[in-house]
A and B are shown apart, each in its own frame.
Chain A
């Protein structure tokens, strides 16, 4: 028999029922439970329901066929040529947009860091693309490419890029550049602002030490600036990639995936399948594939990030 009483494990006076909630493993989760429950309701429940659609036949044109069908949708996807075309386009659309947004955004961030006359004004101006509703931006860009009312095709003709001033959105071989241009314009500010913040957090002394050590401009950039930016670059590129891969607004408004599916990406394909063909089951199945691809991508990138956490 022990004479010492451990307070934590003393029998609860209000009854045995409470004891389980006092266990040190469970207790913290109880305090968190309001937010956990909320997150489950808002995120996980819809997610699970959405995923469950992928295994059901839910088409408004075939209301009698509704029911569980197992992996049938995925077998269809496996043979769907439009799906593969959209998948290729998704890669093309996403990586071209991200690479251009990133490199131009980084360039702009370096310009802003260096400072120039009228910088404050310019810095405020940079946010403008975000203030405009995306549908409006998309329409504006579509008009800009239209040779009847917009100047872009005439300029490209004058520069010798086009043989004659026609609408590139109507040419299957180059239509994708239209939404990509709009998307780059729209996405540069994000990279410029986040990378500028990261640039400004690099101590001036690093640059001074590098100057004394004899580094050229390029060496300073590659051996000091980039390593310092690396963690930020990885995280922003990941966020943007996932976001752009899912971003259907520009393409939907500018080309609706056409002509001849030349600008169809998975997210527009999903959108059109769900809301034009009203086949929610198949749309959900394609969404699940996209989700898995993006999860794989994010995991890879986060693994890479661990290599960069050395800085900071």
Chain B
């Protein structure tokens, strides 16, 4: 168990800088999720923590000890790779016990430990199979088993579920959550899937283009995104963003509608989540729209609405809806849940 600290870490490949000024302190036992679009540098950051990738500048500390130059084998961390990276020539048991074998543990102890982690992951009966005789889900479990059999200081996961089908992904997500509760170990988990991030994390680190956009608890990111990128990235379906300008004491949308709040002069974008727009009578709401597409998901409905002079607006309606394509109705924004952003995309904190 340990806490991990990243101080002003940056990473370049030749002249190309892919990570810049990363500062992050991870507490002992914390579940941290690094999330961001593909190519933003999540894997690179994880691999620097693992020691697989040299750190160009900055300090990496484990328990206040500088480990920049330490080889992976001396960092005592376990990693679950996206493609699992199981050794094809070793059976499941040897795959899981390999790190113990390397350290010259007694055969009896290795056996005991692999048995135990095989039990927790439901791999009993598969122990003498080769990886090629396993399904994707089973391989994923073996990769996890390999990590837990050795009881490391910290666990690193690089998109471990991205090669599984949707149902299995949900199941394994739950198992990882349970695993974290049971072991209480420090875990760093990389994903591009915000649902995984929101459900698993104690804290989420949102990355984009090699920079940290925001660090916070799942609900924090949802309720108060630091900037437009986070606002767009977190939450599904994504937030509606409109250009606004200040007219007197109120903000005005580009189609002329007033939205009944002030931007303090700096606001240029108005963000409202689909679930914060209510459907009202035509003469009641802030704007009037026409339903273009209605997706009925059972628990919710997504209504893609065309608003004149504004473009498409997405509304999420709880439960089922009576609306049909072509219906006209009023849209009322829940202004207290809306967000305003300045010209740099930074969210404005307003005293409401």
Say if A and B assemble together: yes
Where the two chains meet, the residues of A that have a C-beta atom closer than 8 Å to any C-beta of B are: 203, 205-206, 208-216, 219, 223-224, 227-228, 310-312
B79 at the A/B interface (Cβ < 8 Å)? yes
- Cα A212 to Cα B78 with chains together (Å): 6
A227 and B89: CB pair below 8 A? yes
- Cα A214 to Cα B75 with chains together (Å): 9
Chain B residues 21-64 with CB under 8 Å of chain A are 50-52
26 of the cross-chain contacts (CB-CB < 8 Å) are: A203-B85, A205-B81, A206-B85, A208-B52, A208-B72, A208-B79, A209-B81, A209-B85, A211-B51, A211-B52, A212-B50, A212-B52, A212-B72, A212-B73, A212-B78, A212-B79, A213-B73, A213-B98, A213-B146, A214-B72, A215-B102, A216-B73, A216-B102, A223-B102, A310-B89, A311-B89
- Known A-B contacts A219-B102, A310-B130; the reply to A211 vs B71 at CB < 8 A is yes
A312 proximity list for chain B (CB < 8 A): 88
- Chain A contact residues: over half helix, strand or loop, or mixed? helix
B88 and A311: CB pair below 8 A? yes
A216 proximity list for chain B (CB < 8 A): 73, 102
B87 and A211: CB pair below 8 A? no
- Known A-B contacts A215-B102, A219-B102; the reply to A209 vs B87 at CB < 8 A is yes
A208 and B81: CB pair below 8 A? yes
Closest 10 CB pairs of A and B: A213-B99, A214-B73, A205-B85, A209-B85, A211-B72, A311-B89, A227-B89, A212-B79, A214-B102, A215-B102
Q: What distance in Å separates the Cβ of A67 from its nearest Cβ neighbour in chain B?
A: 57
B83 at the A/B interface (Cβ < 8 Å)? yes
B77 at the A/B interface (Cβ < 8 Å)? yes
B106 at the A/B interface (Cβ < 8 Å)? no
Q: What distance in Å separates the Cβ of B290 from its nearest Cβ neighbour in chain A?
A: 52
B103 at the A/B interface (Cβ < 8 Å)? yes
A224 proximity list for chain B (CB < 8 A): 87
Q: What distance in Å separates the Cβ of A211 from its nearest Cβ neighbour in chain B?
A: 4
A209 proximity list for chain B (CB < 8 A): 79, 81, 85-87
A219 proximity list for chain B (CB < 8 A): 102
- Cα A201 to Cα B146 with chains together (Å): 24
Q: A210-B87, A211-B71, A212-B78 are in contact. List 4 more A-B contacts (CB 8 A).
A: A203-B85, A209-B87, A212-B73, A212-B99
Chain B residues 66-120 with CB under 8 Å of chain A are 71-73, 77-79, 81, 83, 85-89, 98-99, 102-103
Shortest Cβ distance from A226 into B: residue: B89
A208 proximity list for chain B (CB < 8 A): 52, 72, 79, 81, 85
B146 proximity list for chain A (CB < 8 A): 213
A203 proximity list for chain B (CB < 8 A): 85
How many residue pairs link A and B with beta carbons under 8 A? The number is 58
Shortest Cβ distance from A203 into B: residue: B85
Shortest Cβ distance from B52 into A: residue: A208
B52 proximity list for chain A (CB < 8 A): 208, 211-212
B77 and A212: CB pair below 8 A? yes
Looking at A212, A223, A228, A311, which has the most chain B CB atoms within 10 Å of its CB?
A212
Shortest Cβ distance from A312 into B: residue: B88
- Cα A212 to Cα B89 with chains together (Å): 18
- Cα A286 to Cα B332 with chains together (Å): 100
A214 proximity list for chain B (CB < 8 A): 72-73, 99, 102-103
B73 and A211: CB pair below 8 A? yes
- Cα A174 to Cα B49 with chains together (Å): 57
B102 and A213: CB pair below 8 A? yes
B89 proximity list for chain A (CB < 8 A): 227-228, 310-311
B83 and A205: CB pair below 8 A? yes
B71 proximity list for chain A (CB < 8 A): 211
A227 proximity list for chain B (CB < 8 A): 89
- Known A-B contacts A209-B81, A310-B130; the reply to A215 vs B73 at CB < 8 A is yes
Interface digits, B125-149 against A, CB 8 Å rule (1 contact, 0 not)? Answer: 0000010000000000000001000
Shortest Cβ distance from A219 into B: residue: B102
Q: What distance in Å separates the Cβ of B36 from its nearest Cβ neighbour in chain A?
A: 22
B98 proximity list for chain A (CB < 8 A): 210, 213, 223
Looking at B50, B79, B87, which has the most chain A CB atoms within 10 Å of its CB?
B87
- Cα A224 to Cα B99 with chains together (Å): 13
A211 proximity list for chain B (CB < 8 A): 51-52, 71-73
Q: What distance in Å separates the Cβ of A115 from its nearest Cβ neighbour in chain B?
A: 16
Q: What distance in Å separates the Cβ of B139 from its nearest Cβ neighbour in chain A?
A: 13
Shortest Cβ distance from A205 into B: residue: B85
Q: What distance in Å separates the Cβ of A101 from its nearest Cβ neighbour in chain B?
A: 25
A206 and B87: CB pair below 8 A? yes
Looking at B52, B81, B83, B150, which has the most chain A CB atoms within 10 Å of its CB?
B52
- Cα A117 to Cα B3 with chains together (Å): 40
Q: What distance in Å separates the Cβ of B189 from its nearest Cβ neighbour in chain A?
A: 16
- Cα A206 to Cα B98 with chains together (Å): 12
Looking at B50, B81, B102, which has the most chain A CB atoms within 10 Å of its CB?
B102
B73 proximity list for chain A (CB < 8 A): 211-216
B150 proximity list for chain A (CB < 8 A): 213
Q: What distance in Å separates the Cβ of B75 from its nearest Cβ neighbour in chain A?
A: 9
Q: What distance in Å separates the Cβ of A202 from its nearest Cβ neighbour in chain B?
A: 10
Looking at B50, B77, B89, which has the most chain A CB atoms within 10 Å of its CB?
B89
- Cα A213 to Cα B99 with chains together (Å): 5
Q: What distance in Å separates the Cβ of A178 from its nearest Cβ neighbour in chain B?
A: 41
